[in-house]
Amino acid sequence: MSEHKSVPALFAPAQLGELELSNRLVMAPLTRIRAETDGTPNELMKEYYAQRASFGLIITEGTWPIQEGRTWDTQPGIATQQHIDGWREITDEVHARGGKMVMQIMHGGRISHPELSGTGRIVAPSAIPSPNPIRISTGKVNAPVPHVLTQEEIPEIIEQFVTAARNAMAAGMDGVQVHGANGYLIHEFLAPSANTRTDSYGGSPENRARFAIEVITAVAEAIGADKTGVRFSPEHNIQGAVESDHEDALATYFALAEGISGLKLGHVEIVHHEPDGDLVQGMRKLIDAPVILNTGFTRFSNREVALGLIENSVADAVSVGRLALANPDLAQRWQEQAPLNEPNPETFYVGGAKGYTDYPVLQYS
Ligand SMILES: Cc1cc2nc3c(=O)[nH]c(=O)nc-3n(C[C@H](O)[C@H](O)[C@H](O)COP(=O)(O)O)c2cc1C
């Protein structure tokens, strides 16, 4: 018993909703764009995820529910039988190694281009293009003006999330994570800079939160709330989803938290630089669900921060991005205070095994 007590809670087995995890260290969703051009996951991806099965939970890279929601070439999808079969091989391997895995379902919204979407259009809440260029086959180009989703089209998009969630479960996932962060479609509805609608999906904080609540509720009804998670990044201010008015952000994300609190979701992941601040902890009080925290891009999620978040009960689990891609055995390294591999940003988004499956694990002679 005393032996067990000496293990910090971060590294000890834990229950996250219905999921039994081997530790509270979560691999954050990390886009690596190494699937086939039609979005089918491949052997290389299987090796990469299998190497990281010792994380308590793996959240997959953002995966498109329908090609119109695709943001990059060779980003994986979960729309076809080939996608399901490819992901099934990955979940089987991760499970065989004792890991757990949920799929991040990501509709890119206006962070796309007709060349990628295949429908001749890209969609968003309002006709405001992304301020960032979009990468297509000829290089980086200005983001196009998106098609404004009509009230009639919104249920179709919600249905696309639902179908993708069902497909993810058919692929053997332990659950899904709806991507509501980082400036993609759901976040575009939340952020006043990207949503200037005057109907029931725009204007007030409650209205801007509506689409997110509807998507999450529909997915939870389809696959079970305990299998459904979501990621938000309030005040992250990237890709033109700007939430610079703190009072407005509080009102929007509290409305959102209230709208999903009755569901009893499997998890809610929040990306924020101030995990113990009023926004995150206010949301946490309202949401009746385990909270995974990610401290965001401003600093690396390091060992001391992660340990502190759990020891001080600021979060139920901690997700780690860059150090997870560079350290397949991060839980062991952190537990033993062993040296870490440095992530190489030059290989984040290029194809191939280099900087993907060749980061070494600890070797003992
Ligand atoms: C290469 C790379 C790809 C990422 N892809 C995604 C993604 O697909 N979905 C997502 O929600 N966040 C994505 N993120 C953000 C990470 O999940 C995480 O929030 C961020 O890296 C900060 O955490 P860290 O300091 O532990 O790296 C990505 C980050 C990086 C570096």
For 107-138, the DSSP string reads: --TTSS-HHHHSSS--EESSS---SS-EEETT
Out of 26, 27, 30, mutate this one to test ligand 1's pocket (max ligand atoms within 8 Å of CB): namely: 30
Q: Is residue 210 in contact with ligand 1, taking CB distance under 6 Å?
A: no
Q: Is 31 in the pocket of ligand 1 (CB under 6 A)?
A: yes
Q: Which residue has its alpha carbon closest to ligand 1 atom 31? A: 322
Per-residue model confidence as pLDDT tens digits over 194-236: 999 999 999 999 999 999 999 999 999 999 999 999 999 999 9
Rounded Cα–Cα distance for residues 156 and 209 (Å): 18
| Helix 205-223 × helix 246-261 angle, to 10° | 30
Structure tokens, 80: 């076809």
Span 260-305, pLDDT tens digits: 999 999 999 999 999 999 999 999 999 999 999 999 877 778 999 9
Name the band, by pLDDT with cuts 50, 70 and 90, for residue 4. low
Q: Which of 25, 182, 320 to mutate to test the pocket of ligand 1 (most atoms within 8 A of CB)?
A: 182
Is CATH 3.20.20.70 the classification given to domain 2-347?
yes
pLDDT above 70 covers a percentage of the chain that reads 98
From residue 109, give the alpha-carbon distance in Å to each of 127, 170, 181, 194, 349. Answer: 11, 25, 12, 11, 20
What pLDDT digit, counting tens, does each position of 317-358 carry? Answer: 999 999 999 999 999 999 999 999 999 999 999 999 999 999
Determine the pLDDT at residue 5.
58
Would residue 184 show up in a list of annotated catalytic residues for this protein? yes
User: How much distance in Å is there from the Cα of 4 to the middle of ligand 1?
Assistant: 32
From the candidates 48, 49, 184, 359, which is the catalytic residue? Answer: 184
Q: How far is the CA of 322 from the centre of ligand 1 (A)?
A: 7
Q: Which atom of ligand 1 is nearest to the CA of 343?
A: 31
Average of pLDDT values for 25-53?
A: 98
DSSP track, 1-18: -HHHHTS-GGGS-EEETT
- Tell me, what's the pLDDT at 189? 98
| DSSP structure class, residue 67 | G
pLDDT at position 300 is 74
Ligand 1 touching residue 233 (CB < 6 A) = no
Kindly state if the Cβ of 271 falls inside 6 Å of ligand 1: yes
pLDDT at position 364 is: 76
Mean pLDDT of the chain: 96
Other Cβ atoms closer than 10 A to 360: 10
Residue partners of 224: CB distance under 8 A and separation at least 6: none
CA–CA gap between residue 52 and residue 237 (Å, rounded): 30
pLDDT digits (tens, 9 = 90+) for 316-327: 999 999 999 999
**Taking the domains of the chain in order of start, what are their residue ranges?**
2-347
Q: Flag whether pLDDT at 50 surpasses 80.
A: yes
Alpha carbon of residue 165 to chain centroid: 14
Distance 29 CA to ligand 1 centre (A): 6
Assign 3-class secondary structure to 265-307.
Answer: CCEEEEECCCCCCHHHHHHHHHCCCCEEEECCCCCCCCHHHHH
Handedness of CA 112, 241, 233, 220 (dihedral sign): negative
C-alpha closest to that of 317 among 277, 275, 286, 282:
275
187 SS3 class = helix
1 pLDDT higher than 50 = no
pLDDT for residue 43: 98
**CA distances in angstroms from 292 to 57, 103, 216, 280, listed in the order given:** 11, 15, 17, 11
Sorting pLDDT into bands at 50, 70 and 90, what band is 2? very low
Q: Whose CA is nearest to atom 21 of ligand 1?
A: 321
